Structure 1
Amino acid sequence: MVLERIESPADLKALDPTELPVLADELRAAIIASVARVGGHLGSNLGVVELSIALHRVFTSPQDLLLWDTGHQAYVHKMLTGRRAMFDTLRQAGGLSGYPSRAESEHDVIENSHASTALSWAFGIARGEAAKDPSDRRQVVSVVGDGALTGGMAYEALNNLGHHRLPVLIVLNDNGRSYAETVGRLSERMSDLRTDPRYRTWRARIDRVLARLPLAERAADASLEALKQFVSDAPALQSFVEALGVRYLGPVDGHDHERLEHALTHAKRLEGPVLVHVLTEKGKGYTPAETDLEKHLHDTSAFDVATGRSASSKPRSWTQAFSDTVTDIGCRRRDVVAVTAAMPGSTGLLPLAARRPDQVLDVGIAEQHAVTAAAGMAHAGLTPLIAVYSTFFARGFDQANLDVGLHDEHVIFSFDRAGITGDDGASHHGVLDLALMLRIPTATVLAPSCEEDLTALLEVAVDLDGPVSVRFPKGDAVAAASLGLDGPGDGLAARRIREGADACVLAVGDRLGPALEAADLLGEHGLDVAVWDVRCVRPADGAMLAAAAAAPLVVTVENGYVAGGAGSHLADRIVELAGVGQAPPVLRLGVPDTYLQHAKPAQILAELGLDAAGIAAGIRKVLTDA
C-alpha cells in the first residue's frame, strides 16, 4: 500500500505522480472505515483528498502554515502528517480530535471548528510574518470552504487582506454545500465560456435541482437568487474578490492531481493575496455520501458501510421531539418563522420546511445576521424561532443582547446540543447558553427536563413577550414517565418531585434524572433531600425559591458553566428573598471554567461529578462535614 509508506509530508513529496490516485483511493477507504466505526465528519473529508495531497506536496508544513476552515475537513491532513496509525482512535477519549489540535501535532495551527474564521487568522498571522526578516517569513495558506463564505467575518478578512496586500494564499474549496444545500454550485467554465449553450443548460439543471430541494427561500426569492448568482458564476466571484484586491485563479478541478499542483505552485509564486478556486465533490468516491442532500453523512454516528445508514436503530432524540413540536406549531400558526444558520436538517427544521417552506429561513453560516434579522421579524409582527446548536449561539450573543434584548423583541432561541456534547470536543460543548442568556435582562430562560416538557414549554414560549430561550441536550429524549412524572409541568411553574428536610436540590433541565437518582442514593445513607424540577430559570418560581430559602442546604445542578449560570442566578434570588445572613448555604454543581476535550458525554459528566453518584457524593460531603 502507498498509504503505509506515508509517515510525514516529506514521504508524500517523494511519491511518483502515478502513485497519487492509488494513495487517494487508499485514503478514502481508510476514512470510510474509521468513520463508519466511530462516527465523524465524512462527506467533507472525502471531498478534499486530492486537495490535501496537493497542498502537502506543494507546501512544506509545518514551515508553511496550513489553516483549515472549517477544521472538520482536516482528516486527510492528519493522516498525511504522521497520525495515520492513530486514526482508529478518532474522537475517542485520549485519542485523536475530530479537528486540528496543537496538542497533537506541530502541523496543526488552529482548532477551527466554527466556520468563517480562518481568513482572519490568516490575516493576523501574515501581518506578524510581515514584520520578520524576509528570510524567516512563512507562507500562510488558508483552506476555506464548506459554506464558510456565507459568513460575514470571511468578507471582513478578505477586505483587509486585499487592502494590506498581505501574501496569503486562499484555497476556496467549493463543493456547493455547507451542512445543507444552501447555495448553487460554482461554474466550471471560465469567463470566455459563459455564453456556451452547454453552460446555460447546466445552469438550468441546477435551478431545477434547487427548486426541488425541501428547504425554504427558493430561487424565487430575490436575496437567494442574488447569492446563488454570486457563487455560481466563477466570473462574478473573480470580479468580486479582485475588486477587494485579491487575485483570482481558477476554477480548478479539485480531483485532478496535476492541475491542482500546477495551480497551487503558480499561486505560490505570486505576490499579495491570491484565491485559488477549487471545485470538489462532497463525499467523493462513496455513493451514499455523494448523494446525501441533507446532512446524514456530514457529521455522522457509526454506520453500515454498505448502505451509509446507521448500523442500528436509534431511540427518539431530543431534536426529533423538538422537530415534531415546531412543525406542529408552525402548521397551526402562520406567524411562526423558524430560522437556521445552514443547518435545517441538523436542527430538525426539514419537516416544517417541507410543509410550510415560507416559514423556514436559512441564512447560511451567519448567526449574527440570523439573530438581528429575527429581531426585525419580531418587530414586524412575526414570531421568529432561531434553531441553533448551543455552541454556535455565542457567535450571535452581541446581537441577542442588544438587538433582541435591549429592544425587548419576542425572539425564541432553541438551543440544541446544550450541555456536554462529547465526541466533537472543546469547541462544541454547549456550556455557555445559560450564562449568556442570563446576561440579557429581559430574557425568559427555560430548561425542560423531559420530552413532554420540551413540547409544553415551546407552546408557552410562542405566547410570551420578549426574548425566550429553550435548551435541550444531545442524545436520546427522556420521557416524563421515566422520571416518575405523569406528564408536563404547568406553565412556567417549577415542580417539587420529592420531599426532604436535609437539603433542597434545584435540578436544571436534563440533570433532573441524575438528581432524583442521587436522592435515592443519599436515602440509603439516611439523608432525606427534596428535589425540584426548575423548568424556568428566569423568572424563577416563587414557591420553589421560598422552599429553598427555608432549607438547611440548597444544591443547584446544571449541565453548563457553573460560574454565572443557572445556579448563580438562583442563589442570588434566594438571598434576595431570605436576606443577607439569613439565606442557607448554596452548593452549586456544574461545569467548571475549563476547555473539556472529547469523550463520551456520560464519561465527562461523571468526571465532573454531574451524574447521580457525583451529585450524591457532593451533597453528602457538605452535609457530613457540616
Structure 2
Amino acid sequence: MSKNIYPLLDTINTPDDLKKIPITELPKVCEELRSFIIDELSEHPGHFAASLGVVEITVALHYIMKTPYDRIVWDVGHQAYIHKILTGRRAQFHTNRQYKGISGFPKPEESEYDAFGVGHASTSISAGLGMSVAANLKQEKDRHIVAVIGDGSMTGGLAFEGLNNASINPNNLLIILNDNQIAIDPIRGGMHHYLVNITTSRTYNQVRFRLSKLFTDFNILTSGKKRKITQITNQIKASFARQSNIFEGMNIRYFGPVDGHDCMNLARILNEIKDYNGPKVLHIVTKKGKGYKPAEESATEWHAPGKFNKETGERIISDPCGQPSLYQDVFGKTLLELAEKNDKIVGVTPAMVSGCSLNFLMEKMPRRAFDVGIAEGHAVTFSAGMASEGMIPFCNIYSSFMQRAYDNVIHDVALQKLPVVFCIDRAGLVGPDGATHHGMFDLAYFRCIPNLTIAAPLNELELRNLMYTAQLPGKGSFVIRYPKGKGVFCHCEWEQPFNELPVGKGRCLKPGNDFAVLSLGSIGNTATKAIKILEEEGWSVAHYDMRFLKPIDEELLHTVAKKFNRIVTIEDGVISGGFGSAVLEFLAENGYQASVKRIGLPDRFIEHGTPEELYHEVDLDVNGIANSVRKFLSKQ
C-alpha cells in the first residue's frame, strides 16, 4: 500500500517496529489499522466486526509486551487480524482465509507470534494458565502470559474451569476480558447481566484501582496484609455495587472496567499491572465494529459480511431469487412449521441463533427457542433435561462444535434413550474457516454410540422429512447431519407436505449392472454427476442413497452384495471408521467377497479454501470421484 495512505503502518513489520513509535502516535496507528482492515476485508472477506473492536488493545499489548517471548493467547481467533498485521503478515494479508494463503485464525505453524492454535471458543484462559504455570516451573519470572477473551466466550464452561484453577495454582496470568456485549449474536444469560452491573460500578472501580496502586507503590501490600486489603476492597465493592465481584471472590485481582478504545491509557494500565504477582483480570469495554458505522449498528450482520462497498456499506450479495435455499434456512423454517403443529417441540443452540437459523423460531415463539451461550455440552444436557420431561428438543450444533459435547451425548442422551433430535449443521468441508471448523468426524464418532439413529439427507426435501420423522413418537435419540451452504432446490420444490421416512431404509436411485455406488448424504449429488461421466464411458452403474448410517439398511446391503462384486462407498466424512467402514464390516461379517473402494476424507487435517478447492484437493469433486472409480475398476 502507498505510504501516503498508511505512513505509520508502512514502517511496522514487527512489534519491535511498533515500539519505536512514540506512544502519542498510537491513536494514529490505530486509525490506519482500521482503514487497512476496511480496505482489505471489503475485497477479501473475513471476520470483520470483531477485528475492528480490538484494534486498540492489540496495539497496546504488542507495544508493552515483549512478544513473541511474552505470549498472547487469543480466544476463538475471530479478532486476531490486527495481531497478524502487526506480526509480519501485512503483505500476505490479502490471502487471508484463501486457499494456500494465511489462516483466518492464530496458527503456531504460521508464526512464532501465534502462541496457541484456536478456532473454538473459551479455551484461552485454560491454555494461558498452562503456559503461565509452565513459565513458573521453568523459573521464567520475566515471561508474561496474556489471555484475551470476549464476554461471549466467557459463557463457556471451560472458561470458568480455567478461572477456578487459576485461583489456586501459582501463576501470573493476565486475562483481558473484552466486553462488547455480543458474540456473533447478542449475548444472553447471567454473565451478560453481571458484566453490565460491573460496568455501572465505575466509582468503586476507580477507588479500588487507586487503592491497589497506592499499596503497591508504597510496598505495603505484604503477604500478611493482603487478606485484610482484599476484605477492605470487597467491602468497598459491596457499598457501591451491592454485589460481590466474582473474580475477586476467586482470588483473581480485578481491574476495570476501562475504555477499550483508549490506546494510550490501555498501554499505561498494562505497563502498571503486568508485573503484579498472581492472576489478574483487566476488564475492557469495547464496541464490536468500532470505526465503521454499519458494523457498529449491526454487529451480527457484519460478523463476516462477505464483500461490501466500503464507501456505502452496501453488502455485495448475489440475488437469491430462483437460487437454491440454504440448508440452515430449510432447518429453521421447517422447525417453525413443526413447532406450530407440535407444542412439545423446542429449539436449542449454543450461540448460533442466526448461523443455524433458529431465529425463525425465536422470533415467532421466543419462549420455545433457547440460546444457551457458547456451551455445547450444556446445550446437550439441557436438551436432555427437557426431553426427560416430555419435550422434544431440536438441538442444533455445528459438526465441529459437537465434538466438545461428546460425553454429554453418550451419558445424558443415548444412555437414557431420550428423544433429543440433534441437527448437525456444517457437516463436511466448510471452506475458509479451515481445519478447526470442518465437519469431518461426526459420522465416525457418532456411529459407535448405542441407541442413536444417524441420518444424512441427500437434499433439502430429505432434510425436511427427516426432521418430521425424528419428532414422531418412539423415534428416540436422532442425529441428522447436513452441509453448509445451498442445496439443490428452490423454495417451491422443497416446501412440500411432510412424509415419514422409514428409519434404517435406503433406496435405489438408479439401477445398473457393472458395479454399485453407495453414497450417504448430500455428497450423493456429486456422485450422481460422476456416475453420469462414467456411464458416458460405457459403464452401467447402480446408485444407492443409503440415507441412514445407523441402523444401516442391511436388507439393501444384502441385495447389493449378492449382485455386485465391485462396490464403491462415498461419504464426506473421514474415511477412518465412517460409512465405508460400516459397509466393510457388514460384508466381512456376512461372508461376502466383494472388492470395495472407500471414497471419503483422508486421515489428515484439511486446511482452508473454498469448498470447491478443498473437495478438489481431496478428490471428492465430480472429476475426483470419477478418477478414483476408474483406478479402482482398472485394478479389478
1:534-559 residue CA offsets vs partner (Å, 9 max, x unmatched): 11221222442122212111211111
CA contact (8 A) 2:204 2:240 kept: no
Q: Equivalent of 1:519, from 525, 531, 553?
A: 531
Q: What residue in structure 1 maps to residue 403 of structure 2?
A: 394
Tell me the matched-pair count.
Answer: 582
CA contact (8 A) 2:305 2:315 kept: no
Question: SS in structure 1 opposite 2:427?
Answer: coil
**Pair 1:544-2:556 in alignment:** yes
User: Where does structure 1 lack aligned partners over 5 or more consecutive residues?
Assistant: 195-232
Matches within 5 A, 1:97-176: 97-134=103-140, 137-176=142-181
CA displacement 1:501-537 (0-9 Å, x = unmatched)? 2211111111111111111121133221111111122
Residues in 1 aligned to 2:332 and 2:61: alpha-carbon distance in whole angstroms = 41
Other-structure match for 1:563: 576
Tell me the SS of whatever aligns to 1:372.
helix
- Find the aligned partners of 1:292 and 1:317 in 2 and give their Cα distance: 22
Q: How many angstroms apart in 2 are the aligned matches of 1:350 and 1:308?
A: 23
Using the alignment, how far apart are the partners of 2:440 and 2:126 within structure 1? 25
Mapped to 2, the partners of 1:46 and 1:329 lie a distance apart of 40
Alpha carbons 1:146, 1:179 under 8 Å: kept: no
Counterparts of 1:234 and 1:259, CA distance in 2 = 24
**Where do residues 397-412 of structure 1 align in structure 2 (5 Å cutoff)?**
397-412=406-421
Q: Distance in 2 between matches of 1:193 and 1:507?
A: 63
CA distance in structure 2 between the partners assigned to 1:129 and 1:317 by the alignment: 48
**Corresponding position: 1:304 with 2:315:** no
For residues 457-490 of structure 1, what are the alpha-carbon distances to aligned partners after superposition, in whole Å with 9 as ceiling and x for unaligned? Answer: 1111111522111111111112299999x99894
What is the identity percentage for the equivalent residue pairs of Structure 1 and Structure 2? Answer: 38
Shift of residue 237, structure 1, vs aligned partner: 8.7
* Structure 1 residue 36, shift from structure 2 partner: 2.1
Q: 1:234, CA displacement in angstroms?
A: 10
2:90 counterpart of 1:90 = no
Partner of 1:376: 385
Whether contact under 8 Å (1:336, 1:384) holds in the other structure is: yes
Q: Which amino acid aligns with 1:596?
A: I
Is 1:606 matched up with 2:611?
no
Partner of 1:573: 586
- Cα distance per residue 1:572-595 (max 9 Å; x no partner): 23444xx23x24122111111211
Task: Identify which of 154, 179, 199 aligns with 1:188.
Answer: 199
- CA shift, 1:341, in A, is 0.5
How far apart are the structure 2 equivalents of 1:234 and 1:278? Answer: 19
Evaluate the alpha carbon distance shift between residue 562 and residue 71 of structure 1 in structure 2; reply closer, same or farther with a 3 A threshold: same
Cα shift at 1:193: 6.0
Task: Check if 1:313 corresponds to 2:319.
Answer: yes
Q: Which runs of 5+ in 2 are unaligned?
A: 1-6, 206-238
Q: For residues 290 and 58 of structure 2, what CA distance do their matches in structure 1 show?
A: 14
Code of the residue aligned with 1:476 in structure 2: it is K
Deviations 1:248-294 (A, max 9, x none): 0111100011221122112112101111001111110111111115x
CA separation of 1:386 and 1:234: change in aligned 2, threshold 3 A: farther
The answer as to whether partners of 2:70 and 2:144 remain within 8 angstroms in 1 is yes
- Please report how far the alpha carbon of residue 377 of structure 1 lies from its aligned counterpart in structure 2 after TM superposition: 0.8
Matches within 5 A, 1:226-241: 239-241=245-247
Instruction: For 1:575-590, list aligned pairs within 5 A.
Output: 575-576=588-589, 579-580=590-591, 582-590=592-600
SS in 1 for 2:31: helix
Out of 420, 426, 430, the position equivalent to 2:439 is 430
The CA deviation string for residues 423-452 of structure 1, in whole angstroms up to 9 with x for no partner, is 011100011111122121111111001111
Shift of 1:236: 8.0
8 Å contact from structure 2 (residues 204, 241) kept in 1: no
Q: Distance in 1 between matches of 2:536 and 2:240?
A: 70
Among 16, 32, 51, the residue aligned to 2:38: 32
Take 1:606 and 1:92, find their aligned partners in 2: how far apart are those partners?
15
Give the 3-state SS of the residue equivalent to 1:477 in structure 2: coil
Matches of 1:568 and 1:355, distance apart in 2: 43
Q: Within 2, Cα distance between the matches of 1:389 and 1:361? A: 16
- 1:194-213 mapped onto 2 (5 Å cutoff): none
Measured in 1, the distance between the counterparts of 2:576 and 2:240 equals 49
In 2, are the aligned partners of 1:553 and 1:585 still within 8 Å (CA)? Answer: yes
Q: 1:235, 1:134 → 2: CA distance?
A: 38
Give the secondary-structure state (helix, strand or coil) at the position aligned to 1:597.
Answer: coil
Q: Is the 8 A contact 2:456 2:548 kept in 1?
A: yes
Q: Distance in 2 between matches of 1:320 and 1:569?
A: 31
In structure 2, the partner of 1:335 is: 344
**Corresponding residue for residue 200 of structure 1:** none
**In structure 2, C-alpha distance between the alignment counterparts of 1:482 and 1:572, rounded to whole Å:** 40
Aligned to 1:269, what secondary structure does the other structure show?
coil
Report the Cα offset of residue 191 of structure 1.
Answer: 5.6
- 5 Å matches for 1:414-563? 414-463=423-472, 464-479=474-489, 490-492=501-503, 493-550=505-562, 551-563=564-576
Verify: 1:48 aligned to 2:54, yes or no: yes
Paired residue secondary structure (2:167): helix
Q: CA deviation at 1:134?
A: 4.0
Give the match's secondary structure for 1:472.
strand
Q: 1:16 to 1:339 in 2, by over 3 A?
A: same
After TM superposition, give the deviation of residue 392 of structure 1 in Å.
Answer: 0.2
Give the deviation of 1:310 after TM superposition. 3.4
Q: Which moved more, 1:468-477 or 1:33-42?
A: 33-42
Structure 1 residues 489, 134: closer, same or farther in 2, change over 3 A? closer
Q: Secondary structure at the match of 1:415?
A: strand
CA RMSD of aligned residues (A): 2.3
Separation (CA, whole Å) in 2 of partners of 1:117 and 1:3: 31
Structure 1 letter corresponding to 2:466? L
Task: Provide the C-alpha distance between the structure 1 equivalents of 2:491 and 2:328, rounded to a whole number of angstroms.
Answer: 19
